[in-house]
Amino acid sequence: MRMLRWIVSAAALGALAFGSAGAQETTVKIGIARSTSNAAELMALKRGYFKDAGIRLQWDDIDTTANVIPLLAQNQYNIVAGGISAGIFNALEKDLPITILADRVSTPIGHNLMLRPDLKDTIKGLKDLKGKVIASNGQGSVSTYEVGKMLDREGLTIADVDLKILPFTQMGVAFRNKAIDAALVIPPFVWQLQEQGLAVPFGNVDELVQPRPMTIAVIMANTDWIKTSPDLVQRYVTAWLRGVRDYCNAYHGGANRQEVIDELVSSKTEPHRELLEKYPWPARSPNGKINTASMLDINAWYVANRMAAQKFQPERLVNATFIDQANNKLGPFELQNKDSKLPGCRD
């Protein structure tokens, strides 16, 4: 598992960190799967929302939540932000101390099952993927769920393809070397691979996977930490939600769009400004709300494919207390650009 640690403090002020730490600030340890949606945390740092809440972040980049659920359960991370992996449900089955607090990414998400360009004339439909090598970023990751749901449409299962586990950062090399035939890719990697001519869009997850809106990434927390520090958790969630709303206004072309792009570029989340200006960003709920129907479908798919053993009720999966209180404090989300026709990032 590859990690890049960002210690967000006065000493770390620079390209990868924003804000400052004071004597009264409390450290919150977070692991985040790098994606365009990181802009919420970046804006909460840049605009001082976390600092105002008395919070200092210790931030690790992670490849997939599937690899770090044990670290969250051990409270080595207080919070993990990333995809809904099978590991979440397996941890709950074992009564490990984790819960889900809020949405992180939901339809439209911009995920795509991308194809090697030299295969586009021979692989015409999903049924033609039988026996092909398909890359996902984790065996029990939400990307694997997305691949499986698309194959389901043609009567195929995940067992009908050769699933190869690769970090998103290595998929381009694998395409170039013809080590894979297809891969489930997320922004900004979708844009990069397309621009470099290494892969072509083949299966649009937003069109092919139901139920919608699909919640595929969430904010998770350690429940022991929640019990001992409820006020800190509330302060974190409220500050974070302010950053989420900044992201959503930028998503819709608000006045802060260039400011958000600047943060994504300077943090190297997506160093190519032109891609952020050219392609649509993943959406999310500006209120942090989760579509539980989507989450339950993900849970059921993992169980059907023997990646998890138990189905859960929504109340066992999600603790909405903190996001509800944050919304009560901040009030309704106000969309700045009323002329935007983009779906998502609205309620």
| pLDDT tens by residue, 198-257 | 999 999 999 999 999 999 999 999 999 999 999 999 999 999 999 999 999 999 999 999
Q: Coil, helix or strand for 149?
A: helix
The answer to whether the CB of 278 falls within 8 A of the CB of 339 is no
292-326 pLDDT tens trace: 999 999 999 999 999 999 999 999 999 999 999 99
User: 131 near 160, Cβ under 8 Å?
Assistant: yes
* β partners of residue 219: 81, 102
State the average pLDDT over residues 162-190.
96
Q: Give the pLDDT score at 35.
A: 87
**Confidence (pLDDT) at 2:** 42
- To the nearest 10°, report the CA torsion of 112, 113, 116, 119: -120
Taking the CA atoms of residue 77, residue 317, residue 325 and residue 62 in that order, the dihedral angle to the nearest 10 degrees is 30
Judge if the upstream peptide bond of residue 271 is cis by omega within 30 degrees of 0: no
Opening angle at CA 206, ends 205 and 210, nearest 5: 85
Helices (DSSP H) in 18-85: which residue ranges? Answer: 39-46, 49-52, 69-73
> CA 287 to CA 238: how far, in whole Å?
10
Q: What is the pLDDT of residues 57-93, one digit of tens each?
A: 999 998 778 789 999 999 999 999 999 999 999 999 9
Helix axes 39-46, 230-251, angle to 10 degrees: 110
The kind and range of the H/E element at 31 are strand 26-33
Instruction: Enumerate the β-bridge partners of residue 105.
Output: 217
Contact (Cβ atoms closer than 8 angstroms) between residue 60 and residue 4: yes
Residue 199, classed as helix, strand or coil, is coil
Which domains are assigned to the chain?
Answer: 4-107+213-330 (3.40.190.10), 112-208 (3.40.190.10)
Which residues, 6 or more positions from 99, have their beta carbon under 8 angstroms from its beta carbon?
220, 221, 223, 226, 317, 318, 319
How far apart are alpha carbons 158 and 130 in whole angstroms?
A: 9
Length of the chain: 347
Cα radius of gyration (the chain): 19
pLDDT reported for residue 65: 83
Residue for token pair 């992180």: 104
Question: What's the pLDDT score for residue 34?
Answer: 83
**Across-strand partners of 103?**
218
Q: What is the mean pLDDT of residues 11-15?
A: 35
**pLDDT at residue 18 above 70?**
no
CA distance 68 to 6: 17
Q: How confident is the model at residue 142 (pLDDT cuts 50, 70, 90)?
A: very high
Strands 112-115 and 182-185: antiparallel
Q: What is the pLDDT of residues 250-260, one digit of tens each?
A: 999 999 999 99
d(CA 42, CA 170): 24
Question: What is the C-alpha separation between 104 and 200, in angstroms, rounded?
Answer: 26
Q: What is the pTM of this model?
A: 0.87
In this prediction, residue 24 carries a pLDDT of 82
- Average pLDDT rounded to a whole number, residues 133-147: 94
